Chain A
Amino acid sequence: MNNIGAIDIALAASVTAILATCSPLVVRRQQHLRAIMCLLLAITAALAVAAGISGLLGSHGQTTLPLGLPWMPMHVRIDALAAFFLLLIGALLLPAAIYSQGYLRHVKQLIPMVVFLPLFVLGMIGVVISDDAYTFMLFWEVMSLASYFLVTFDHHQAENRKAGFIYLLMAHLAGLLILGSFAVLYAASGSLEFQAMRDAPLSPVWATGAFLLAAFGFGTKAGVVPLHGWLPDAHPVAPGNISALMSGIMLKIAIFGFIRIIWDLIGAGDFQWWWGVLILAAGSSSAITGVLLALQQSDLKRLLAYSSIENIGIILIGLGLAMLLARYDQPAMAALGLVAALYHTINHTLFKGLLFMGAGAVVHSTGTRNMEAMGGLIHRMPWTAALFLVACVSISALPPFNGFVSEWLTFQTALLAPQLGSAMLTAMVPFSAAMLALAGALAAACFVKAFGVVFLGLPRSDMAIHAHEIDHWMKAGMIIPALLCLLLGLLPVSIIELLDGIPQLLLHVSLTESVQTHGWLWLTPVHASQASYSAPVALTGMLIIGGAAFLFLHPKGHAVRRSTAWSCGTPETNNRMQYSASSFSQPMRRIFSAIYQPEEQLHTERRAHPLLTTRVSYLVHVHDLAVDKLYQPIANYVLLQAKRLDRRHQQDIRSYLAYTFYTILFLLALLSVQQSAMEQRNQPAATSQSQPPATLPGLTSGQTGTEVRR
């Protein structure tokens, strides 16, 4: 093809990333290094966006690179799905790159960042455009490894090292599971190329195996409850720009892999009814657990990490619904669910990226992640506060921002779903929808807490008092996703049309005609008479009314008087009076104490009389049950076995000789048993080797043997 296709642009993007990785070889000065990396990353992002959009507009393409295995060069390909995720990568990478230019200014040892950040990006792009199992796994693991090095970027705190270790371990586990899933598909299709895997017919057993392996692999990587234990440790300890990328993009790459394998390679045709149920259940539990735990965090970035788990849950609810509907031959509705999930995917990329960047800015200027030490930052960092607020509103699924659109679509999928196979299923769908509603509302509570405690009220520490506004690079980096959040909230119709290629690819149905009926202004997923939503109208209405009220009520030159706030008559309000992060979530703790099982310690020091309380200290620690009940026991078991085995390594030489002795005896015994068995099977054992080419019977028998084993 003579004209440039999406695939070429994508490859160009990866090349740019590689260049950025190699830049330390030529550039020495830190300042230049930073600038060059950010510039190259920005270019990569721009190219990714370009590739994504052109891919979504229908410019697909595939090619093979002279890399990889000898008999199988790397296949790369861009279809609608890949294009969408390329777009997603670029959409957050661009602001992140700009943000990094400011964020990394004070970083001392820049080299690892410069090497591994682009490598990380390269891995993600590679996964998305890969078109065979080997390439997929290669880039997947590159992504994991690079991100590990980024998590342990600041490796002087022990907690970071621990987090990094667990992260790498779980990432490796995920990788191996996914590898297993691919191996199943490979065994079924006999080829590593995706096309062959698509075409290969799958027996239900194989399909289930592949599905389970993939689901658990990608679930681990995406932080689905109860496999999420690593996530809330790993994301906070990374530098701000990195946690933005990890939470914003990397988790979505896991979603991509999920869709790629389960929807694309296994194919909607092979779905079984309980797959959807499983995904739906996992999604609901992740959504609820994630947000409940997020509510209890007083570490800002940890809170955000848990909320990522929640959002992954929401995405999975959409996917699970879609899988159920696809199973029961409702392609149109399934497409709606799929689109809802994808829409939420990109939404979460945007606002979670923005949130982490904001958190990075806050941590950067206060020097702590502890919300209890923050407060009142809205006065010191107005820009950050405003942008963070936008993200909070979006993630709380409030109109007119983007978060609401995707959740609304998910609701529509659930509410408008017609009768499914059994009443049980049909009743389960709305239940999950209710869980989604609960999660959404809790998320709102959670982010009221986040924003309120961090930015509002009075400063709770000197660090908060002396906080300073961020520089223009970081500001610029945060403004872009904020605007995108609003844009995606206002123009859902156009976005859905852009995404339409994906349901066409996976389900062979198109949403456009049903969506477009009332033009760009009205979002009518199925039909206007069933459900409709128009953010622009709502927004204009609000602007009109609000403006009117403002003009009406706001008298010119009428200064507002300020005075101290009311605190039951005590003259001076101080910062210790206000609600803290943990007190805000206290009702929740009490209501859901069954889930939290909080460890609370209350110390009251009294002087002489029981009423003269001098000081009260309240400590609360909320456990993550997944870690306590799942991770720890397994680890302990393995270590116990290791210990047992280690005893064997502490004997003297004779016992080792004894092992050799026993081994040979064992082998000989085994042999005699096997031979007697063989003699019973075919009596004339002696004659068998008298026939001239004795290998032939051997070959045949052996082959039958392997057939049996297959």
Chain B
Amino acid sequence: MIPQFLWDHAPAMAVAVPLLAAFVCPLVGKYTATGRKAWVLLAAAATSALALFTAWRVYTLGTWVYVFGATVPALSVPPDSGGIPIRIIFEVDAMSALMQVIVAIVGFSVILYSLSADGKRSGLEAYYTLFLLLIASIVGMVSTGDLFNFFVFFEISGLASAGLIAYRVEAGRAVEAGLKYFVVSTLGGIFMLFVIAILYGQYNALNIAMLAERMQFTVLDKIALVLIIGALATKAGAVPMHFWTPDAYALAPSSVTALLVVASQASLYGLFRFTFTLYHLSLNAATVGWVLILLGVFSMFVGVTMAIPQKDVKRLMAYHAISQTGYMLLGVGTGLAVLGNQGMLDAFGRMAIAGGIFHIINHALYKGLLFLTAGAIIYRVGTRDMNRMGGLGHKMKWTMIFFMIGALAIAGIPPFNGFASKLMIYESVYLFNPVLAIIAMVVSILTLASFVKVFHSIFMGPQLPEYEHVKEVPAPMLLGMGILALLVILFGLFPQQVVDLLITPAANALLDQSGYIASILGGA
């Protein structure tokens, strides 16, 4: 029934289908509301299916190389070229596949939620067009094996996110937040272009595998590394460059925020990909690893301390998002710091990386869930100020349960998924440096304290008279949240299976630079 070529070309189609849907969306969406909803849902479902299929095939059959415009999809190096890849190549290894799983799950649930939650707004055809473009750009960012192609998708995600953040123009502040984000993102893009120019000028290649093969680690390469870490850490919202995050996350519509979390994780993926695959051992792994660790520790600590006094529920969650990004940087940074030392790498380095990567998928799930519940509360109550909420647990039981699941997961309480990944990070980081592990635990306790307070002030207490008429949110919104909540619980109950199935291959793929190069250049 489904044409075979759709599956044969799944990595490319996972980008092409949302793009195609986005190009048609302004025309369809302008005239029929029902048609628009059906179209967007269909496109999101198709994209998720293609991304999941790609991921499944990569996990079972190994790295999938897809060459655009060659005579055969797998012909990465033309025979007459003397061993250099010349076309744009998608290289989906296990790490990329993991990110595709995240995009597929979160993207679909968010669209499901958004179709119901944002149904009464204006300019929806453009809104959903940007939504689809953002999904397409994230899929592109995580699957591409080409530096310049990564930059192009980076720019698409920057423009689409900025438009979505500024969506509520009448608020004024939203446009400001969008502008702030956009200036930062554009600067990041320009730095990336500098990096591309420097690397291209030296090695005359744009393919990541080819660049990694030719990497000499000259002074210019060091400059490029600094610039690229700066650009991508900014986009991921790590602490010294986090100033755009609270505004953007708080003022965007809630469904957009849940997707923005994934978009910033795609930048984080880029950061890991470039440090591990592009530079690998040629960089001074300990130094760069410590840079990532310090970024992570500052993010964790500053994020959580800034979060505690917030009154605005989404702003609070945004600071927690910064704090959780710190855990990923801490875990993966620890792994990077011991990259050159095989003994330490086997002792705890691999586990630290796996913990950091596991935290990426867990964070996407529970943070998405939390932002969606915040959106559900705001949808019914009409305010973001927690001091004016209270007693909502009486009327919004499902939302309360979902919020509780998300809050316990982010605080790292068993049996939810946050616990599993945080435990891996604590254990491995403790072997590396006990102080770091203790800081991580303290941050986790502070997170719990913060969320207990939030939970209490939103849901507990007597029912307030002004919220007499408040009802539970519509079923599609609950379904969107339910998918994420179910996965949060499942990942928490069976962490070992998930780690074996998804996380360990991804961590190994990240560490295996020669394998990445070999699948393009063919055993070189």
A, B bound: no
